[in-house]
Structure 1
Amino acid sequence: MQRRFLGLTATIAALSAAAVLAGCGVTGGDSDVTLSLVAADYDLNGGDSTEKYWADLTAAYEAEHPGVDIDVRIESWDDVDRKVADMVEAGKAPDIAQIGAYADYAAEGELYTADELLTVPVQANFLVPLTTAGEMRRVQYGLPFVASTRLLFYNKKLFADAGITEPPTTWAELAAAAKKLKRDKVAYPFALPLGPEEAQAETMMWLLSGGDGYTDDAGRYVIDSDRNVRTFQWLKRELVDAGLTGPVAPGKLDRKAAFAAFARGEVGMLNGHPSLAQEAARKGVEVGMVPLPGADGEARATMGVADWIMGFKQNGHRKEIGEFLDFVFSDTNVLKFAGDNNLLPATVSASNRMQADPAYAALAPFLQALPNSRLYPVGKTSWAQVSGTIKKDIGRAVEPSAVPGTVLGRIGREATAAEGAE
């Protein structure tokens, strides 16, 4: 059977043709059904590992299901969400999309629910925080494809050189360690990337460590809650105003630049994810990893992140989509993708297998944090707008003349207005 892999260098004409075939439900060769799948490219080095993963997986599936072809198209993370949105708007939705968000499609009634697609054992196997994050109005539409968590990273050599014998367990200890690192002339005692690249992640980690978050238990935005305001007051006073966040203002510092500085050995502490641990170790940095401290001890929760896979209704292939996704979520396939990309499985059984395998020992701290993690409120259609506002404005909360409560109040009012328009 013929599978067509359209990589990042494919022409616009070829992409359009693939979309038309997908939208019309045209099949190839002797197939009864062709399922179209658009997936994100996870290869950080410009290689073809993502394409090879899907090629091997679909070949194995097609061998067992001779009436089905899977037509795969790989897109960069910069483009994949937009291209799927364009396909849907043009009435040519893929059967399956593996992308960053599902809520808008669910709200428009364009997606199958999880229980319409998956067998009960597969649906019940997702980790609880990921299942919850995949729900809109208590119905699951987003199927968590892969996950990660965030931990406090520290450079063990810089700690030792500065006379720091233990990683911090409270905010006060974190500030004290940063002061020692500054005295030892470390460029970034604590790197605080509140620039627009991924400020919503850094912000959420700190809000959780301060005892709150983006939303309350009822799912309503509480960005300017008293606890959240106190968190940013502390960040501004104890880290930024004290000169402990390095030569670049937090609002101008993007995550990518902070991570690169850590891998060069210029950062004492920052919040990081599994891929950074691998890159830093490759460059000779000995990394310590612990949960981000809370104000007086352990933080309320660790931040988790998930990417999503979903099934679109447009072409009417519910049965075939569901059977294929059951196969995608087998332990073998889940572990293969997560392990190859230094990420975490979204299922209980694959997580248990990874945790028991010495080959994945470097991921153990992240695995331990995932079951109790908190994720972005991705089930809210307003989240994309709110996240964009946070990325653009949150860095201003720690500027020299800023009043953190004023900045958070403005973001909070915009969030509440966006929520009211859902």
Structure 2
Amino acid sequence: MQRHYLGLTAAVAALGMAASLSGCGTGSAAGDVTLKLVAADYGNSAANSSKKYWDELARNFEASHKGIKVDVNVYSWKDVDRKVAEMVKKGQAPDIAQIGAYADYAKAGKLYSADDMLAIRTQANFLPRLADAGQYNQTQYGLPFVASTRLLFYNKKYFSKAGLAAPKTWDDIRDDAVVLKQRGVTYPFALPLGQEESQAETMMWLLSGGGGYTDDVGSYDIDSPENVKTFDWLKANLVDKGLVGPVAPGKLDRAQAFDAFTSGKVGMLNGHPTLMQEAEQKGVQVGMVPLPGINGPTEGSMGVADWIMGFKQNNHREAIGKFFDYMFEDKNVVAFADEYDLLPVTDSASEVMETDAKHKPLRKFLEALPNSEFYPVGKTSWARTSELIKQNIGKAVEPGGSPAGVLAEIARGAAAAEDAE
């Protein structure tokens, strides 16, 4: 999939002008500027806090961009979205925010578009699926910061001892889980549909069943026949057969499931790159395959992206654009992705990681990223819809539960949230 910017980039380059397109026009063109940057912390301790990355990036940027300073503030993921919302409400919006969602701010007219800020070469370098996911009303406001994809993880030691091959289909998952249960594995297949991040687990299963949260034109389609069939299968073939472990899926959070996997209590589960490293550090031999589907491996995985954006309030468009053009250089994109076992969001940085031997463990995730499907984050109704999924989807596989009924209830809530926009 090629974007229209690529042809334009070539034309401009032929004229020898591509390097100077960022920040043309008005907005902080003269005098010293201090950019206020708020970002999320991807670390789990002071030793690997994201603040180290941002502080070094800011110092290096300032050294090559005289007259522009960057004031960095990093908050935990629990707090960062709320902090930015409070700042915006008080009329003290940061210039740059690296957070989980952008659509509400784009709808309110508070953000610069990518066209307003970025050099063409920077904008054209985003992976197309990610650039598309950053659009609100067909205009890109959300710049992808980092991404990850999901694969099915399995405990290679358990599979080898049981003489099992890696699953390719749903029936393989069920049959392998039966054997693992017989051999005493606590969670033959861990199915976290608790409130922590069940919107992710749900989307993975919907995609592998040929469905998803939206239809081909981007409208919600949560209770589609394909989605109902997927949860009917999950309930009948994994949950009702006692193949998902001692904790009911609706009570099992992702963190619990991941901890159980790294402790050697799980045979299979859907996972992301960080889990791979954590499991191997604890001696768990990890196998990874594309998400199994009804008749074979799923062609497209689920992707997740976090976003960075530029706010208009302080009229620092040009300086923001220069910072983004610098930030999205390969060395900076790769450095952050490498630190936290995440995936780069640009074509060129992806190529760097794909050809570097030290990133070999991430290659399966990198291969899955270009064809991944993302949450419908361009909808301002998505935040409410996501909460409805997290609060209710576990009920679909409870004893006596109705997948069709639960999905229909979520669909009605999504439609109401959409109508309220």
Q: Shorter-chain TM-score category? A: over 0.9
Contact 1:188 1:268 in 2 (8 A): yes
**Distance between the aligned counterparts of 1:207 and 1:45, measured in 2?**
35
The residue aligned with 1:43 is 43
Q: What's 1:132 paired with?
A: 132
Amino acid at match of 1:349: S
Structure 2 partner of 1:399: 398
In the alignment, what sits opposite 2:77?
A: 77
Q: Secondary structure at the match of 1:308?
A: strand
- The alpha-carbon deviation at position 48 of structure 1 amounts to 4.3
SS at match of 2:175: helix
- Tell me what 1:144 maps to: 144
> Does residue 99 of structure 1 match 2:99?
yes
- Corresponding residue of 2:224: 225
Alpha-carbon distance in 2 for matches of 1:116, 1:205: 35
Secondary structure of the residue aligned to 1:34 is: strand
Q: Which residue is 2:9 aligned to?
A: none
Q: Which amino acid aligns with 1:417?
A: A
For residue 162 of structure 1, report the CA deviation from its aligned partner. 2.1
Q: Supply the AA of the counterpart residue of 1:50.
A: S
Task: Indicate whether 1:295 and 2:294 are aligned.
Answer: yes
Q: Summarize the Cα distance change of 1:158–1:46 in structure 2 as closer, same or farther, 3 Å threshold.
A: farther
In structure 1, what residue type is equivalent to 2:77?
Answer: W
Q: Which residue does the alignment assign to 1:258?
A: 257
Task: Report % sequence identity.
Answer: 62
Secondary structure of 2:69's aligned partner? strand
Indicate if the aligned counterparts of 1:95 and 1:314 stay in contact, CA closer than 8 A: yes
Distance 2:194 2:110 in 1: 34
Aligned-pair distance for 1:52?
1.1
- Secondary structure of 1:47's aligned partner: helix
Mapped to 2, the partners of 1:249 and 1:157 lie a distance apart of 25
Cα displacement string for residues 145-165 of structure 1 (whole angstroms, at most 9, x for unaligned residues): 00000000000011122221x
Q: Show the counterpart of 2:161.
A: 161
- Structure 2 length normalisation: TM-score? 0.92
Tell me, yes or no, if the aligned pair for 1:212 and 1:300 is still in contact at 8 Å.
no
Match of 2:386 in 1: 387
Say whether the 8 Å CA contact 1:208–1:300 is kept in structure 2: no
Paired residues of 1:146 and 1:344 also in contact (CA < 8 A): yes
Structure 1 CA distance, aligned partners of 2:224 and 2:85? 34
For residues 301-321 of structure 1, the C-alpha deviation after alignment (integer angstroms, 9 at most, x for no partner) is: 200000000000000000000
Correspondence for 2:213: 214
The alignment partner of 1:228 has SS state of: helix
Letter in 2 for 1:75: Y
2:89 alignment partner in structure 1: 89
- Tell me the TM-score normalised to structure 1 length: 0.92
Q: Per the alignment, in what secondary structure is the counterpart of residue 309 of structure 1?
A: strand
1:277 matched to 2:276: yes
* Kept in 2: contact 1:211–1:300 (CA 8 A): no
Aligned pairs (5 A) from 1:162-241: 162-164=162-164, 166-241=165-240
In structure 2, give the amino acid aligned to 1:87: M
Change (3 A) 1:161 1:48: closer
Distance 1:82 1:50 in 2: 18
**Counterpart AA for 1:397:** A
Matching residue's letter, 1:173: D
What are structure 1's unaligned runs of at least 5 residues? 1-24
Shift of 1:46: 4.2
Question: What is the distance in 2 between the residues matched to 1:187 and 1:48?
Answer: 32
- Trace 1:264-343 onto structure 2 (pairs within 5 A): 264-343=263-342
Amino acid at match of 1:54: W
Shift of 1:300: 4.5
- Structure 2: gaps of 5 or more residues: 1-26
What RMSD in Å do the two structures reach over aligned CA positions?
1.2
- Deviation of 1:44 after TM superposition, in Å, equals 2.3
- Partner SS for 1:158: helix
User: Hey, what's the Cα distance between the residues in 1 that align with 2:46 and 2:393?
Assistant: 32
Query: Which whole-Å deviations, capped at 9, do the CAs of 1:259-306 have from their partners, x for residues lacking one?
Result: 000000000000000000000000000000001111111225200000
Structure 1 CA distance for aligned equivalents of residues 48 and 288 of structure 2: 30
The answer to whether the 8 A contact 1:210-1:300 is kept is: no
Deviation, 1:416, is 1.1
**Distance in structure 2 (CA, Å) of the matches to 1:49 and 1:400:** 43
Give the match's secondary structure for 1:406.
Answer: helix
Q: Which residue identity lines up with residue 309 of structure 1 in the other structure?
A: I
Instruction: Give the number of aligned pairs.
Output: 393
Q: Distance in 1 between matches of 2:325 and 2:107?
A: 24
SS of structure 2 residue aligned to 1:212: coil
Tell me, yes or no, if structure 1 residue 365 matches structure 2 residue 364. yes
| Alpha-carbon separation, structure 2, partners of 1:420 and 1:296 | 37
Letter of the aligned partner of 1:221 in structure 2?
A: Y
SS at match of 2:373: coil
Deviation at 1:65, TM superposition (A): 1.2
Residue aligned with 2:38, SS: strand
Once the 2 structures are TM-superposed, how far is the Cα of residue 55 of structure 1 from its aligned partner? 1.1
